[in-house]
Amino acid sequence: MDATRRVAPMGRSLANHLASLNREIARLKQAIDDHINRHPGLRADRERLLSIPAVGDKTANRMLAVLHSRKFTRAEQVAAFLGLVPVEHQSGSSIQKRPRLAKNGDAKTRAVLYMAAIVATQHNPHVRALYTRLCAKGKAKMAALGAAMRKLVHLCFGVLKHQTTYQSNWAGSC
């Protein structure tokens, strides 16, 4: 009985702390949205990113931050910056490990892109075509998802570079 009386105040304290953290998260999300809405260029770029199927608010905000943080001239630079390039491990003819992603960028941005890539394999025609083609060739599903993440980065870079919305019927990006 004495232990339950001690646990109840701790539970209330934790619940209050979580509520406070959730309010702070909501306040920061609102501040980010307000900042983007105050700048017409950022707002337009965000709308362009949101036109890509599978790119939601979180992915669009992350990609805005990445793409506006440096002067990238090619989509491959962005992919390398985020660590979405395949790295092969070979030594002569005896050691040949499976390729993996470089992972030298921001892990949280890769996590957001991973979830977006999962959605994109179902709802984005360019990413779905790439994913099914790689799986049909015998690539592992995780390797195909890594390629889908990279494709999403290329699409995000493309819509911002060309200042146009996503076009699902554009054959040049496949």
* The pLDDT value given to residue 169: 79
Quick check: 173 pLDDT over 50?
no
- Give φ, ψ of 8 to 5 degrees: -60, -45
d(Cα 15, Cα 63) in Å, to the nearest integer? 33
Tokens of 125: 């025609």
- Give φ, ψ of 95 to 5 degrees: -110, 110
Q: pTM (2 decimals)?
A: 0.82
Q: Dump pLDDT digits (tens) for 115-125.
A: 999 999 999 99
